[in-house]
Chain A
């Protein structure tokens, strides 16, 4: 399977714990995006990378959120000291073109904070 893969697909955690999500984009896609989607809403932009460089980070993202793409391939999104409001689907997408072009999405990682 050469699509965008995300892991884990589901994560249930207690408030205050740290969680980390991983995204493996389509190989040779130099753009990688993280979005967050809550029930009944469209995805909201969190951050994106071109290769290993993080080019933009949403104002929605508090200091508890950090994302990395150390080698320009896979990316991780870490949430520290989780809060119930962090419960959402975290979506990763990648694209090959220099502009957004066609995005390919992963299946998402659903986070539930108890």
Chain B
């Protein structure tokens, strides 16, 4: 079992729909990251969070430390949101590297 599991693996939705991507992890963490990867490989950091909720524009990230679960939400989705969204965790063992999920491929249809 991978330390970081994401669901769904693939998601196709119509423009304007509310999107939810889930991430579950099995290790103790000090922080969780949500990343966006566009075709061609470029990765952009969206959020880093260790508790509660963060919001940036149409993106919202939440984390429940007790349940070892995080969600990424996109409101009013747009075709330019189409990308792979990756969850990554920073363990609390102090080894200071990220363990990544396999990503969720999101496609927003106009």
* A interface, CB within 8 angstroms of B: 31, 33, 35, 37, 40-45, 48, 55-56, 89, 91, 93, 99-105, 107-108, 110
B residues 38-79 in Cβ contact with A at 8 Å = 40-45, 48
* B interface, CB within 8 angstroms of A: 4, 30-31, 33, 35, 40-45, 48, 86, 88, 90, 95-103
Contacts of B42 in A (CB 8 A): 105, 107-108
Give CA–CA (A105, B84) in the complex, Å: 15
A41 touches B102 (CB 8 A): yes
Main secondary structure of the interface of A (DSSP, over half): strand
Tell me the smallest distance from the CB of B84 to a CB of chain A, in Å.
9
Give CA–CA (A40, B97) in the complex, Å: 21
A43 touches B33 (CB 8 A): no
A110 touches B45 (CB 8 A): no
A102 touches B45 (CB 8 A): yes
Give CA–CA (A35, B37) in the complex, Å: 14
B103 touches A100 (CB 8 A): no
Contacts of A91 in B (CB 8 A): 41, 43
